[in-house]
Amino acid sequence: MGKIVFATNNAHKLKEIRGIAKGKLEVLSLSDIGSHDEIEENGSTLEENALIKARFIKDKYGYDCFADDTGLEVEALNNAPGIYSARYAGEHCSPQDNVEKLIGEMKGKSNRKARFRTAIALLYAGGQHLFEGEITGRIIEETRGSAGFGYDPLFQPDGYDKTFAELGEELKNKISHRAIAMNKLADFLLSNAK
């Protein structure tokens, strides 16, 4: 089984990715390689931010690695919060602050359409690759469920009557934006293993 570094400090994302990659790849975290760097994400797209993180780790530590950036795009808010999803309510906000801000911004809006998008940048064997995943759904009016993280209690994927936070990790890890992008990454790595 191959090893690869996932350039993140987000324990929730790491757990989710390891669940998705289980049996396919051994995913190392930044702390596993001794990296405690704050990597500034100053790109203007999800793809740019993912590449900035992957490039930093590759250049400094030499590992093949991948990084992701994920955004929630709400149609009625001109696709906000988008690349600012993690800091929607301000620079040092909590996930709960972000959820509350989104609830406030959506008050009185009839168009509830939204999508989660993930971009993964992979630096591997001297090449650079991008993988995307997307899931459409809607923003409900109040939080439901206790699983997941971030905006999961507000996002109800199309075709389901439950939010990401109600579906449970196992199902979410099969259908989510991150799962779609991660499975593309895993398929690529397995078919191009050194």
Q: Give the integer Cα–Cα distance in Å for 100 and 119.
A: 25
Alpha carbon 42 to its chain centroid, in Å, reads 17
Beta strand 2-6 with 65-74 is parallel
Catalytic one of 64, 68, 69, 152: 69
Token couple for 128: 């650079």
Q: Is 64 a catalytic residue?
A: no
Detail the DSSP E strand segments found in 125-191.
Answer: 127-139, 155-157
Beta strand 127-139 with 155-157 is antiparallel
Residues forming the active site: 69
